[in-house]
């Protein structure tokens, strides 16, 4: 069994989600976001099924969003408590986090 973690970004209309899947495991973790403006998105909700808890999949979703924010020049409003908690644990991410909306 492989434990390769794959993350995809899906966008539709004014929002979308980051989705994490781990080879050989059922389910997917997701981080749902909404575009709030040209340079601002809100991280609205993060969820991982029991089959993916403890794998780091949800954390990897936040890390991917931070990397995308830096690469694309947008800021993140951490509405989701999980994302807010990770933003506080990583002060080096302060360049991409905005006040929650």
- Is the per-residue pLDDT at 57 higher than 90? yes
**Considering just the CA atoms, what is the radius of gyration of the chain in Å?**
13
Q: How far is CA 55 from the centre of its chain?
A: 15
- Is the per-residue pLDDT at 47 higher than 70? yes
Delineate the domains of the chain, giving CATH numbers in brackets.
5-93 (3.40.630.30)
DSSP character at residue 51:
G
Q: What is the pLDDT of residue 1?
A: 38
| Tokens read off for 7 | 């993350």
Q: What is the pLDDT of residue 3?
A: 73
């Amino acid at each position: 069994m492989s434990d390769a973690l794959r993350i995809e970004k899906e966008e539709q209309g004014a929002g979308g989600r980051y989705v994490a899947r781990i080879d050989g495991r059922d389910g997917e973790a997701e981080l749902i976001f909404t575009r709030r403006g040209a340079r601002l998105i809100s991280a609205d909700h993060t969820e991982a099924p029991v089959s993916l808890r403890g794998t780091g999949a949800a954390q990897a979703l936040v890390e991917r969003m931070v990397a995308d924010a830096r690469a694309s020049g947008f800021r993140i409003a951490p509405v989701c408590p999980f994302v807010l908690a990770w933003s506080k644990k990583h002060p080096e991410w302060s360049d991409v986090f905005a006040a929650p909306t």
